Structure 1
Amino acid sequence: MARREGVTGTAPRRWMLVGALLAATAVGAMPQRGESLPDFTTRDLLDGTHRSHELVGRTTLLVVITDKDAGDAMQKWFDTADTHVPKSVHRASILTFKLPFFVSQGTVRNKAREKVPREYWGDTWLDKNGAMGKALGLDSSKTPYAFALDEKGHVVAAVHGDADAPEAQAVWDALTRR
């Protein structure tokens, strides 16, 4: 009898663990077509506070890098956007990577300012702890993630690739149809 109780007592726990793992995987998944970005708060290169819902209300190209050495690949997305999408498409970026605790937010902000043109400092959001990347379900990579967002803040196209990769065409098409 005790053995039976042990077996039936373990089975529900096992299913609860499986359910918890599936739920955790779903929460950390990269936003897909039709989904909104998860809610998050961050600071820009001017030290101003922003929330993800600020991307609602205008068509946006959002480029996210998850590795401190991916700046050139991110810049390529914005340079290519100048030839592929109308100027009315908002351009924003998120720099999210896990850096050692002893590297201050100010140090990271100053380094980013050296690379990002001043006119885009307010649209460049920074996260040195990787929390936004985790919330977005993005792995650390030297290859950028790019999202085309509609006016409602929904993802209409997403790609983990370079601006000139064949799969990037979905982002360019989505942004020019708006």
Structure 2
Amino acid sequence: MARQSKDSRWGRSTLGVAALALGLLMAPGAFALPSQGQPLPEFSARDLTSGPHASKELKGHPTLLVVITDKDAGDKMRGWFEAADQHMEDSVHRQSLITLKLPFFVSEGAARGKAKGQVPQGYWKDTWLDKNGGMAKALGIATSDTPYVLALDAQGRVVASVHATADSPEARTIWSALSR
């Protein structure tokens, strides 16, 4: 049953908006996604309207959280949102995080402006951009052209996590966790 939800269209338009448009890289780090049953670590970011957000906002509903850390991960991020249309109910929230370490010569305003040019205005508040790599640091993830994906329960706890593409065997872990 193919359908195109609002969140899916947003995910496709995001495609690593800032990552691909700006060609930026996050500083390397260690890969260690939160374990099953652990709460999502605290982090903050700003959306494309400069509105502040915090990880605690992802509580209250099951969530598919797709995180990209590399300028080349946009197509793979899109793959997760397209696959979500086939595997998840509309009630599961879809959130995408773009976490990069911007060079000193690229301002947050410039990054936000480029992203606004590619993301429909209706999705600007849902597009969280982290210019300093703080979300990646809080999540314990490294730069990779493969997305990091977490399934969160309504309490914001991790019920599954993978570092994989949507067409990989590991993706079944996410779809299974979010269909409960």
- Say which of 82, 96, 107 aligns to 1:93: 96
Aligned residue for 1:171?
174
- Say which of 40, 43, 47 aligns to 2:46: 43
RMSD: 1.7
2:143 pairs with 1:140: yes
Aligned residue for 1:110?
113
Any runs of at least 4 consecutive aligned residues in structure 1 with deviations exceeding 6 A, and if so which? none
- Give 5+ residue unaligned stretches, structure 2: 1-29
Deviation at 1:117, TM superposition (A): 4.0
Letter in 2 for 1:123: D
Aligned residue for 2:14?
none
| TM-score normalised over the length of structure 2 | 0.78
| TM-score normalised over the length of structure 1 | 0.79
Letter in 1 for 2:145: K
2:89 pairs with 1:80: no
2:63 pairs with 1:56: no
Q: Give CA deviations for 1:132-167 in whole Å, capped at 9, x if unaligned.
A: 101110000011001100000000010101111110
SS at match of 1:142: coil
Once residues 169 and 101 of structure 1 are traced to their aligned partners in structure 2, the CA distance between those partners, rounded to angstroms, is 39
- Give 5+ residue unaligned stretches, structure 1: 1-26
Aligned residue for 2:68?
65
Q: Give CA deviations for 1:24-68 in whole Å, capped at 9, x if unaligned.
A: xxx983211101111111101221111110101100000000012
Deviation at 1:76, TM superposition (A): 1.2
- Count of matched residue positions in the alignment of Structure 1 and Structure 2: 151
Identity %: 60
Q: Which has the larger radius of gyration?
A: 1
Once residues 176 and 167 of structure 1 are traced to their aligned partners in structure 2, the CA distance between those partners, rounded to angstroms, is 15
SS at match of 2:66: strand
SS at match of 1:73: helix
Once residues 176 and 94 of structure 2 are traced to their aligned partners in structure 1, the CA distance between those partners, rounded to angstroms, is 15
Once residues 142 and 51 of structure 1 are traced to their aligned partners in structure 2, the CA distance between those partners, rounded to angstroms, is 24
Deviation at 1:119, TM superposition (A): 3.4
SS at match of 2:161: strand
Letter in 1 for 2:159: V
SS at match of 1:107: helix
Aligned residue for 1:23?
none
